[in-house]
Amino acid sequence: MTHKIAVIQNPPVLLDLPATIARAVASINEVAQAGAELAVFPEAFLPGYPSWAWRLKPGADMGLAGEIHDRLRRNAVDIDGGALAPLADAASKHRITVICGMNEIEQRYSGSTLFNTVVVIGADGKLLNRHRKLMPTNPERMVWGMGDASGLRVVDTPVGRIGCLICWENYMPLARFDLYAQNLEILVAPTWDCGEGWLASMRHIAREGGCWVISLATALHASDIPGDFPQRDTLFSADEWLCDGDAVVFEPFGGPIAGPLHRKQEVLYAEIDPARAARARRSFDVAGHYARPDIFQLNVNRAAMPPATFSD
């Protein structure tokens, strides 16, 4: 049975959470009307990927970094506080599964740390999974904390069994194997990476895992940066693409069936059949008959890692 999916490459309203959530809801409404059963948004879509972290000069731009980070923190997503309710309501209204990347603020303990998070919202509006990026990359470590493996899970949805790895987590062989070993049918890879090297990796994962691979980044042009962004014209060139997007869908053990969508701020649609994943693994099942557990074993600690426990 095939399902129509929508890979949404439109940009956010950078550092404006209410406006970006409104844009996300409008996109969900749009793709649902087009018959999509799954809507996928890029890495850190709410309220935008911190591309400035790659451009700030270490030490010299501490004040500027603090100013931008404070705005990001004030517009980060408090999941436990109900900030995703508009997306959950849209998912439930249209009976559509929604996957969305975000800057999440942890309010339960420190109230300050941000995480690079991706959530899976079910077609009934319930939160099926929250995965925090295990290891922020390079200057991202000045923006986000490290996540634990409590969300490193594959979940059942009406369109198939879905697991998510964020950006360069997809380069972590053990993280991929963790998902393969949970009967993964669809890998969703929200990212900020793009280009031929990244697309080659996505093709490899589709072959290695015998799974569908959905990858997308935000197609973001400098003209999308708000005019009140601190030192915008110093950090960004007026005519540059900050990220090309390159939304793509690879079939199990095969090539692309849709995309890549290069430098286009629009939606990529595709039809997928989750049952094809199991069929693709007949000859090579990396977590099954090709696993050799007598030689290789993977132990995954999926326990939550709170910074403190309290007894009254």
Percent of residues in the chain assigned helix, strand, coil, to nearest 5: 30, 25, 45
Active site residue 185: no
Exposed/middle/buried for 237, CB within 10 Å: 0-12, 13-18, 19+?
exposed
For 45-75, give one letter per residue: b (16+ CB within 10 A) or e.
bbbbbbbbbeebeeeebeebbeebbebbeeb
State the virtual CA torsion across 252, 255, 257, 260 in degrees, nearest 10: 120
Which residue in the block uniquely carries the two structure tokens 């451009």? 55
CA distance from start to end of the chain: 53
- CA 304 to chain CA centroid, nearest Å: 20
Active site residue 43: yes
Among 100, 164, 167, 211, the active-site one is: 167
Which residue in the block uniquely carries the two structure tokens 């439930």? 92
Checking DSSP bridges between strand 245-250 and strand 114-121, what pairing results, if any?
Answer: unpaired
Exposed/middle/buried for 253, CB within 10 Å: 0-12, 13-18, 19+?
buried
- Which of 130, 133, 17 has its CA nearest to residue 74? 17
Active site residue 240: no
Asked if residues 281 and 251 have their Cβ atoms less than 8 Å apart, the reply is no
Among 43, 104, 106, 169, the active-site one is: 43
Question: What is the rounded CA–CA span in Å between residue 212 and residue 81?
Answer: 33
Q: Which of helix, strand or coil describes residue 63?
A: helix
Among 37, 100, 133, 211, the active-site one is: 133
Q: How far is CA 291 from CA 5, 103, 296, in A?
A: 31, 36, 7
Active-site residues, by number, are 43, 133, 167
